[in-house]
């Protein structure tokens, strides 16, 4: 595989950030539309109950197989990999059947007026998940062979199709909002499947005919797929066993890890769903504030985490100690990890400082006076800002840990994750009953601290006998911290004295301070910015040639 892995990872992160921004903007507008059109109860049913069902099915049936199959992709026996990734379809079918039954018959019931729509929603989510899993072999190949732009274009079309279908149906049938959600789920999943298979039905014959002529087919001499049927199990020639046993064992390790990680990721929604701590209306408000508070995590940190995981899997071998691997790869990976830590910590600290003084303003601009009528939404968002720093550090460090652990280490970590998940559920249940929705955020913070502690120890132990210190990137410069501290004092002053007079004045004052903080960070990290600028110029010059 001759493609530049680092370049493709950075491209993937960049395009994913843009995609996440588009997706979140659409989601926020859509949530406001739903509240004003059909009410908060419907939003709670869709955004918490039904999307949790979709998340559970997809994460448990797709995530372990996809992570295992992305490991060292350039050395794959693709016939074995295709056979393995298609196991997600029967796995998804089993999970869908079991979970749909639980969601319909065992969880706390919805109001009678929504019951029939809710049942249809559960079935529609199960069907859309099956269709999406049938597309995984094509998506895996696209990612492994760095079809970055293709992925972004198709996923953008997928989101837009789901959104427009839903909005169109709700406008004309506002009382059938959950049914509209169900139809939009299935239509968009089928469309994504058709787009991916349709592209390769066109691309493969062209590649076979033209070879590596033209930019579209450059660096694709090692592309092993010569027919669309090769994406289906059993159709690609293979002298070896049907499934790679090492990848299967790695998948089993990731299954254990994914179950625990899903609980940790969606733990508050599981608590809401299983235990009637909050009403559907309260759940919808919490979900809105939670999504708004996770803007940085979803827009920036998650794409960086995904691309970092892919990058580290290609640069570091799981089963070899660092001293037996290529020195150039180790040095580059260490530098990338250090710089990633520096960037995400800086972003997280900025969110914390400005979030304390601008949470109310953001909520007011988004939902109006109705959303900020009580102090709870503002308090929730302010606490979220502290959680974002922890999410940032945890995302990058865990990406490295999961990408470089061997099977034995993954199995050990799975047991530790079980302890984390049990502790998280217990703490969240207790704190929520005592403090309300704020308890969910505090429980997440405790959980993040524990996971970060483990990741830092793993990375330190891996590098302590070498000359590399990637964790030093977690320590911001003293000048940056001082400027942030002063910015926090001045923005709080602005909230107290300027906001009551003019919201625009308050925002303008904060913008000036933000630019000052940004300039300070740029000054402290001039070498990183210079390196990025040089790579950008080199890329432009190559394109122009």
Question: Is residue 222 packed enough to be buried (19+ CB in 10 Å), middle (13-18) or exposed (0-12)?
Answer: exposed
pLDDT confidence band for 130 (50 / 70 / 90): very high
User: Is the distance from CB of 523 to CB of 480 less than 8 angstroms?
Assistant: no
* Length of the chain counted residue by residue: 545
User: What residues contact residue 540 under an 8 Å CB cut-off, 6+ apart?
Assistant: none
Tens of pLDDT, residue by residue over 495-518, are 999 988 889 999 999 999 999 999
Please say if the pLDDT value at position 213 is more than 60: no
Q: Rounded distance, CA 111 to CA 289, Å? A: 24
pLDDT of residue 532: 64
Please say if the pLDDT value at position 4 is more than 60: no
Stated pTM of the model:
0.67
User: How many CA within 13 A on the CB side of residue 512?
Assistant: 9
Q: Rounded distance, CA 376 to CA 513, Å? A: 27
pLDDT of residue 246: 79
Tens of pLDDT, residue by residue over 437-482, are 788 889 889 989 999 998 899 888 888 777 778 888 888 888 999 9
User: Is the distance from CB of 60 to CB of 307 less than 8 angstroms?
Assistant: no
Tens of pLDDT, residue by residue over 147-189, are 777 887 888 889 889 988 998 998 888 889 999 999 999 999 9
Q: Rounded distance, CA 15 to CA 151, Å? A: 9
- In this structure, of 76-90, 161-175, 243-257, 331-345, the range with the lowest mean pLDDT score is 243-257
Q: Rounded distance, CA 51 to CA 48, Å? A: 6
Count of C-beta atoms within a 10 Å radius of residue 77: 17
Q: Which residue has the tokens 């929705």?
A: 437
Distances (CA, A) of 457 to 144, 200, 221, 453, 470: 30, 44, 41, 6, 12
pLDDT of residue 243: 77
Interval 18-43 mean pLDDT: 69
Tens of pLDDT, residue by residue over 266-294, are 777 888 887 766 777 777 777 777 777 77
Q: Rounded distance, CA 431 to CA 137, Å? A: 42
Residue of 153, 180, 141, 248 whose CA lies nearest to 42: 180
Q: Which residue has the tokens 């921004």?
A: 21
Q: Rounded distance, CA 328 to CA 512, Å? A: 42
Look up residue 449 and give its two tokens: 């601290």
Question: Is residue 141 packed enough to be buried (19+ CB in 10 Å), middle (13-18) or exposed (0-12)?
Answer: buried
User: Is the distance from CB of 221 to CB of 246 less than 8 angstroms?
Assistant: no
H-only helix segments in 71-147: 78-85, 88-105, 115-133, 136-144
């Amino acid at each position: 595989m001759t493609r530049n892995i680092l370049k493709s990872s950075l491209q993937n992160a960049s395009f994913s950030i843009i995609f996440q921004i588009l997706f979140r903007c659409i989601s926020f507008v859509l949530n406001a539309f739903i509240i004003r059109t059909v009410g908060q109860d419907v939003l709670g049913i869709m955004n918490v109950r039904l999307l949790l069902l979709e998340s559970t099915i997809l994460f448990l049936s797709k995530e372990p197989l996809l992570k295992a199959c992305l490991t060292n992709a350039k050395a794959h026996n693709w016939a074995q990999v295709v056979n393995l990734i298609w196991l997600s379809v029967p796995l998804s079918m089993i999970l869908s059947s079991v979970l749909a039954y639980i969601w319909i018959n065992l969880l706390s019931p919805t109001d009678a007026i929504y019951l029939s729509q809710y049942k249809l929603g559960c079935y529609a989510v199960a069907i859309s998940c099956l269709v999406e899993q049938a597309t995984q072999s094509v998506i895996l190949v696209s990612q492994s062979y760095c079809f970055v732009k293709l992925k972004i274009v198709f996923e953008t079309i997928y989101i837009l199709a789901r959104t427009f279908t839903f909005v169109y149906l709700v406008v004309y049938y506002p009382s059938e909002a959950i049914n509209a959600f169900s139809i939009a789920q299935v239509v968009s999943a089928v469309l994504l499947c058709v787009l991916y298979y349709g592209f390769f039905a066109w691309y493969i014959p062209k590649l076979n005919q033209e070879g590596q002529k033209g930019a579209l087919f450059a660096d694709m001499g090692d592309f092993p797929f010569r027919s669309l049927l090769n994406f289906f199990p059993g159709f690609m020639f293979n002298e070896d066993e049907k499934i790679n046993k090492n990848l299967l064992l790695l998948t089993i390790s990731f299954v254990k890890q994914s179950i625990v990680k899903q609980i940790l990721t969606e733990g508050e929604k599981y608590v809401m769903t299983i235990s009637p701590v909050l009403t559907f209306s309260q759940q919808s408000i919490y979900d809105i504030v939670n999504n708004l508070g996770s803007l940085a995590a979803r827009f920036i940190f998650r794409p960086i985490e995904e691309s970092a995981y892919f990058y580290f899997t290609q640069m570091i071998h799981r089963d070899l100690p660092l001293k037996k691997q290529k020195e150039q790869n180790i040095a580059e990976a260490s530098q990338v990890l250090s710089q990633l830590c520096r960037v995400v910590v800086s972003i997280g600290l900025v969110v914390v400082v400005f979030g304390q003084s601008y949470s109310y303003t953001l909520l007011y601009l988004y939902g109006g006076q109705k959303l900020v009528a009580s102090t709870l939404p503002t308090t929730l968002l302010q606490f979220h800002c502290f959680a974002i720093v922890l999410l940032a550090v945890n995302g990058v460090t865990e990406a490295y840990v999961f990408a470089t652990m061997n099977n034995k280490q993954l199995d050990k970590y799975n047991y530790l994750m079980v302890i984390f998940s049990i502790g998280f559920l217990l703490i969240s249940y207790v704190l929520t009953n005592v403090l309300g929705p704020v308890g969910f955020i505090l429980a997440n913070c405790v959980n993040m601290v524990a996971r970060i502690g483990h990741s830092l120890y793993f990375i330190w132990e891996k590098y302590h006998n070498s000359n590399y210190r990637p964790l030093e990137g977690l320590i911001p410069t003293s000048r940056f911290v001082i400027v942030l501290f002063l910015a926090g004092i001045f923005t709080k002053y602005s909230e107290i004295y300027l906001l009551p007079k003019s919201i625009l004045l308050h925002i303008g004052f904060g913008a000036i301070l933000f630019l000052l903080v940004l300039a300070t960070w740029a000054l402290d990290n001039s070498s990183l910015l210079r390196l990025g600028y040089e790579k950008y110029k080199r890329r432009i010059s190559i394109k122009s040639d």
